Structure 1
Amino acid sequence: MSKYIFADKFFLDGKVEGPGFLEIKDGIFGSFSENRPVAAAEIIDFAGHWIAPGLVDTHIHGFRNHDIMDNDFEGLNQISEGVLSCGVTSFLPTTLTSSTEALNHVVEMIGANYKKVSGAKIKGIFLEGPFFTEKHKGAHNTRYFSDPSIERLKDWQELSNDSIKKIAIAPERKGAAEFIEYAAGEKIAVALAHSDATYEEAKQAVENGASIFVHTFNGMSPLHHREPGMVGAAMNLKDVFAEIICDGHHVHPAAANILMNVRGRDYTVLVTDCMMAGGMPEGNYQLGEFPVEVKAGAARIEGGSLAGSILQLNDAVKNVVEWGIATPEEAIYMASTAPAKSIGLDVECGKIAEGYAADFIVLSPELDLLATYLDGVCRYHLQKEGVR
């Protein structure tokens, strides 16, 4: 039997409606109507609140003291449970640059277990590295850097039960063109990152099939008026997605606004790049093999370089609205539909539309997260009247 969600506003696929009633049947979204359903129907009342699609984090390394590189299913499951408190209902566990053997084990573990997690749904794996260059290495271990290898990607894809959905490389590395063409042909989204590439090198990579710029501005050659670099390519090339970390530490709000204006908010993807200290107190943690200090809201390795973030995706949505650089509708789109679309999965998540899994969040008009639903079932909620 159907049940209905009543709320003041609904962020539906391609439009905002409300007040009204959204049908859910057997964990699947049905139709939306402004009219009250039949008297016998179950109605969950969220009067005064907003309903948005579950958020999709396509770049996250860890949460609540667990790291994807720990290669531990229980930790992976805890991450999936924990990110429900961030409004995330789908995500890509993200690896770090490491040895081939370590990455073999991690992708094999995720591939064997991703359907078993009890929280947010794992939609595939994001391999961040190891095909990067040293100048913009960030918190990646340069001892493992190498040229792109199609054979290694084939091995990882086989070990992961074809779970790899996205891989990041530096486009100036030897063999990048052939690698990009192969990966894109296998429906793996190729992202560009941790690179000192010229504008022309980035442009060639996109022409070969690359389609995402990873955490734009960070870990890449900057914009210069005589050499636009990776940042210029992220802004100017057509039909590519630009990730951005909107925690107030990685990118100045004005720079984020410039990117959104020139790239377009439909092609800007809010990500967290969150590491294991997300959802934890400040202190000392690890990111892969590097010690990290979390202080004043930022995670840094020795020397002061940023090492991922502790950002929660619902806070990124709230930040860009509070900074005055996006409307609530745009912010929600950049954290749900846009990331799903960037990896070719908007046909199954990131939207409130008929036939999609009923994964959604309940927000206050101030964009505070009140509840997270998976398949029509409440899996996270604040202890607050009217939320159940």
Structure 2
Amino acid sequence: MRATETLGRWLRSDGWFDGVCLHDRMVSGFRPDAAGAKGPLFIPAPLDLHVHGGGGADVMQGDEALRTVLHTHARHGTAGLLATSVTAPLEAIDDFLASVARVAKQLELSTRDSQAGDESLTLSGARLLGVHLEGPFISPDKLGAQPNFPAPLDLAKLETWFKTGLVKVITYAPELDPGTQVPGLCQRYGVRAQIGHTLCSWAQAAQAMAAGAGVTHLYNAMSPVLHRGGGAAVAALAYATHAEVITDGIHVDKAAFDAARRSIDGLYSITDATAAAGMPDGEYQLGSLTISKTGHRVELPDGTLAGSCLTQQRSVQVLRGWGLSWAEIAGLSSTVPAQWLQRTDYGLIAPEAHASWLEINNDEPDALWLNGIRHTLETLP
């Protein structure tokens, strides 16, 4: 790919910079130019660490479905994501990991070919950053919209999954781990532990957080904030260093979101997107469950919220409506999740980082740049 010069206002770690970014697939440097002040805004491209599906496909439906999810979320503003399982029989999770491994290998080979000069093979899908295992080691009494396949903690099986190198995040219920062994095992393999789908006490949650655990979809599917006898949510506000929160304006009200922002330095946004993301109203699958999309809501037949149909475009609209600056949105959607994954090639606009940005025109996301190539975002359904 030939070197390119792109003019605009760039959100760097030292603030806004007006000028030219020099790049091919990676950023090589900057040159000041006052004309950049009148150009588009560029913020680090969003990453999404909790994605079950999109474009009518669920990540656990096989290779082609996973590719559909990657392309759908790129078309709506996501540069990289973690394919996120639902709670399922152990052999189904084995199959899911095998599918992710195959697709990751295919994408790696395609990227090598495009770097060798065949730009027709340049990927327009989001980068597959790995896997988020949401369960199966969660509370059977706090499934939320998870299929009914919770399992007792099996450290040997968990280690087998970790040895694939694909797993980056695991959601588990700390009450299933009285010896607090999961965070230590995660640290051995460079995996992030997160508590969720749990009815644990605040003390159990705090113990897991002290051992390095973060929090999965804060407030949702967990023991609540109470001033006496509180659970995981109140412990998160008191002790968590990192937590994800669904920013669709439905799962979490603005006041609860604001409380989390004041309390948790490492708060970051996720979509918890299902197959319904980027699709019209109708019925879709979430693992073995049938879900229904109506407007911006996704529900089980009994009315339980079942993930979301959220995209990065919609998330940005919600956050802007809540009064956040572009710098604050960049932190929530890109910088913090990249740091949580210990990635230095995403989450910032700087030399040696990927030339992947969200382009803002007229206060709206207009395009996603992936590895130096501009892709106009699709219109929201």
Q: Deviations over 1:51-103 (max 9, x none)?
A: 11111000000010010111x21211121111112211111000000000100
Q: Structure 1 residue 286: deviation in Å?
A: 1.3
Partner of residue 297, structure 2? 298
Q: Structure 1 residue 175: deviation in Å?
A: 5.0
| Aligned amino acid, residue 155 of structure 1 | T
For residues 13 and 78 of structure 1, the distance between their equivalents in structure 2, rounded to whole angstroms, comes to 33
Q: Deviations over 1:208-247 (max 9, x none)?
A: 231x211101011111101231111211115x21111111
For residues 233 and 132 of structure 2, the distance between their equivalents in structure 1, rounded to whole angstroms, comes to 21
Q: Structure 1 residue 312: deviation in Å?
A: 0.6
Tell me, yes or no, if the aligned pair for 1:111 and 1:162 is still in contact at 8 Å: no
Q: Structure 1 residue 197: deviation in Å?
A: 0.9
For residues 351 and 147 of structure 1, the distance between their equivalents in structure 2, rounded to whole angstroms, comes to 39
Tell me, yes or no, if the aligned pair for 2:51 and 2:84 is still in contact at 8 Å: yes
TM-score normalised by L of structure 2? 0.90
Partner of residue 68, structure 2? 78
| Aligned amino acid, residue 366 of structure 2 | L
| Aligned amino acid, residue 349 of structure 1 | Y
For residues 114 and 311 of structure 1, the distance between their equivalents in structure 2, rounded to whole angstroms, comes to 24
| Aligned amino acid, residue 249 of structure 1 | I
Partner of residue 309, structure 2? 310
Residues 46 and 65 (structure 1 numbering): CA distance in 2 closer, same or farther, change over 3 Å?
farther
Partner of residue 339, structure 2? 341
Q: Does 1:153 align with 2:167?
A: no
Q: Structure 1 residue 121: deviation in Å?
A: 0.7
Q: Deviations over 1:100-128 (max 9, x none)?
A: 01000010110222143431111111000
Tell me, yes or no, if the aligned pair for 1:148 and 1:176 is still in contact at 8 Å: no
TM-score normalised by L of structure 1? 0.88
The RMSD of aligned alpha carbons is 2.0
Q: How does 1:107-186 map to 2 (within 5 A)?
A: 107-117=97-107, 118=123, 119-142=125-148, 144-158=149-163, 161-174=164-177, 177-186=180-189
For residues 338 and 166 of structure 2, the distance between their equivalents in structure 1, rounded to whole angstroms, comes to 15
Tell me, yes or no, if the aligned pair for 1:91 and 1:120 is still in contact at 8 Å: yes
Tell me, yes or no, if the aligned pair for 1:5 and 1:46 is still in contact at 8 Å: no
Q: How does 1:24-63 map to 2 (within 5 A)?
A: 24=23, 26-35=24-33, 47-63=38-54
Tell me, yes or no, if the aligned pair for 1:148 and 1:179 is still in contact at 8 Å: no
Q: Structure 1 residue 296: deviation in Å?
A: 3.0
For residues 56 and 234 of structure 1, the distance between their equivalents in structure 2, rounded to whole angstroms, comes to 22
Q: Deviations over 1:136-173 (max 9, x none)?
A: 2111123x212222211122234xx3111110000111
After TM superposition, the structure 1 stretch with the greater mean CA deviation from structure 2, 285-294 or 272-281, is 285-294
Residues 170 and 176 (structure 1 numbering): CA distance in 2 closer, same or farther, change over 3 Å?
farther
Which runs of structure 1 show a deviation greater than 4 angstroms over 4 or more consecutive aligned residues?
none
Partner of residue 13, structure 2? 13
Q: Does 1:250 align with 2:251?
A: yes
For residues 100 and 298 of structure 1, the distance between their equivalents in structure 2, rounded to whole angstroms, comes to 29
Residues 115 and 5 (structure 1 numbering): CA distance in 2 closer, same or farther, change over 3 Å?
farther
Tell me, yes or no, if the aligned pair for 2:56 and 2:276 is still in contact at 8 Å: yes
| Aligned amino acid, residue 101 of structure 2 | G
In structure 1, the gaps of 5 or more residues are 38-44, 384-388
Work out which of the residue numbers 347, 358, 361 in structure 2 matches 1:361. Answer: 358
Q: Structure 1 residue 382: deviation in Å?
A: 6.0
Residues 47 and 381 (structure 1 numbering): CA distance in 2 closer, same or farther, change over 3 Å?
farther
Q: Does 1:372 align with 2:368?
A: yes
Tell me, yes or no, if the aligned pair for 1:6 and 1:47 is still in contact at 8 Å: no
Q: Structure 1 residue 261: deviation in Å?
A: 1.5
In structure 2, the gaps of 5 or more residues are 108-122
Q: Structure 1 residue 36: deviation in Å?
A: 7.8
Partner of residue 239, structure 2? 237
Percent identity among equivalent residues? 26
For residues 131 and 349 of structure 1, the distance between their equivalents in structure 2, rounded to whole angstroms, comes to 30
Tell me, yes or no, if the aligned pair for 1:148 and 1:175 is still in contact at 8 Å: no
Q: Deviations over 1:35-55 (max 9, x none)?
A: 389xxxxxxx99542111111
Name the SS of the counterpart of 2:88 in structure 1: coil
Q: Does 1:198 align with 2:201?
A: yes
